[in-house]
Each structure stands twice: as C-alpha cells, then as structure tokens.
C-alpha cells in the first residue's frame, strides 16, 4: 500500500529532475540504467519508488543522438520482456556516440542450466548462498534453473544466455560484442562497476560498441 503511494508522489518529481540532469550533463556523458547509489561521473537512473532520477529506459530517452559515451546496466534487462529490452538497446544505440560502449550484467541462464544438467547440488556454492541470503529455497539441482526463471519477477521479463544477448545487441546495430569478466573491463570507465561479482558464473557481463 505504501509503495504505490510513494511512487505516485515521487515519480513526476524524479522524472522532471532526471530530465534536467540529463540536459545539464556535459557531453558526452555516462548513463547508468537501474542504478541504486550515486556513482561519481555518472548520471544514475532507475524506476523504483524512491529513485532520485526516474528514467523509463524502454521509452524514448530525453537525450539527443550521440550524447553518451557509456551505458551501464546491472541486473535490469532480465526484468524486461524481449520487445522492451529491444527498445532499450535501440535507444542506447541512438544515444551513444560512435565508439561508445554499453555493458550489461545479467544472470547467465546457460550457466544455471549447465549446473542443473550436471546434477550439481547447490549446497555450499557461493552463487547459491547469495540466493539463500535473499530468503529463497535452494536445495536441489533444479533450483539452479527454477530461481533465475521464476524468481525476482523474471518470469515477466526475458532471461538471457551470452549467445542470445550478443545476438540482440548485434540486431540493435552494435559491434565488437564480447563477454567480459565480472568486475573487469578493458574500458577503464566500466572497470570495477559490477555489484554481483560474488555470484561468479551465475552472472555474466556482455559489452558492445556503438
């Protein structure tokens, strides 16, 4: 009951604040989608109830073509249906300058399925411990697949493996699509940003160039 009320009050204010912040940022600038905490040198946006800067990344962005140098999004794309994810990628491609870079971090469905097919017990795995700490039941190998598909609202979105996410980025017009190590990037501005490094192979990072 509280969250919708807070969102109703905060969203128009946060949307207007985001529009001003995006307009005032020196060009080119770095944009984070779905961020929680302020990040020096970045404009950090979200759509949660209490966000300071509200940006619906699946709708047209109030940013002109070529205004961005980097786009970063950690554990957002899997919450979006495929069409909405494609809209996000299209806007990122439009707003990035030539040579600009986008980085997605998202659960790796193939890694989860491989663990399930191998019959790997989740007990004692660092990745499984993260899920347990969230209050989820993690007892049997099938939980490797059940959790990334059925939990966190992912059933309403679209869960990826590296091949599928790479194909969608290519479809959007990006080049040099490559998987990167969690927490590491050859692009200094994207190095050390990831929040889910402790989940190891359960998460993946994919980068691409405009």
Q: How many CB atoms lie within 10 A of CB 207?
A: 23
Give the pLDDT of the chain (210 residues) as one tens digit per residue: 656 777 788 899 999 999 999 999 999 999 999 999 999 999 999 999 999 999 999 999 999 999 999 999 999 999 999 999 999 999 999 999 999 999 999 999 999 999 999 999 998 888 888 888 889 999 999 999 999 999 999 999 999 999 999 999 999 999 999 999 999 999 999 999 998 777 767 899 999 999
Judging by DSSP bridges, how do beta strands 96-107 and 29-33 pair with one another? unpaired
> According to the model, what pLDDT value does residue 123 have?
85
Domains in the chain with CATH codes: 2-108+160-209 (3.40.50.150), 109-153 (no CATH)
Distance from C-alpha of 56 to C-alpha of 9, rounded to nearest angstrom: 16
Distance from C-alpha of 144 to C-alpha of 123, rounded to nearest angstrom: 11
Distance from C-alpha of 173 to C-alpha of 184, rounded to nearest angstrom: 24
Distance from C-alpha of 58 to C-alpha of 88, rounded to nearest angstrom: 5
pTM: 0.94
């Amino acid at each position: 009951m509280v969250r919708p009320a807070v969102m109703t009050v905060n969203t128009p204010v946060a949307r207007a604040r985001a529009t001003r912040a995006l307009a005032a940022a020196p060009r080119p600038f770095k944009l984070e989608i779905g961020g929680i905490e302020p990040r020096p040198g970045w404009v950090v946006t979200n759509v949660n109830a209490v966000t300071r800067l509200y940006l619906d990344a699946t709708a047209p962005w109030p940013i002109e073509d070529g205004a961005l140098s980097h786009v970063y999004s950690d554990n957002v794309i899997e919450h979006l249906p495929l069409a909405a994810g494609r809209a996000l990628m299209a806007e990122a491609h439009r707003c990035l300058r030539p040579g600009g870079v986008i980085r997605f971090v998202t659960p790796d469905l193939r890694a989860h399925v491989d663990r399930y097919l191998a019959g790997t017990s989740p007990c004692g795995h660092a990745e499984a411990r993260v899920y347990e700490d969230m209050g989820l039941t993690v007892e049997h190998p099938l939980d490797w697949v059940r959790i990334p598909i059925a939990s966190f609202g992912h059933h309403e979105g679209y869960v990826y493996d590296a091949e599928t996410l790479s194909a969608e980025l290519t479809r959007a017009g990006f080049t040099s699509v490559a998987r990167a190590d969690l927490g590491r990037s050859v692009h200094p501005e994207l190095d050390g940003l990831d929040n889910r490094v402790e989940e190891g192979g359960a998460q993946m990072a994919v980068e691409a160039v405009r």
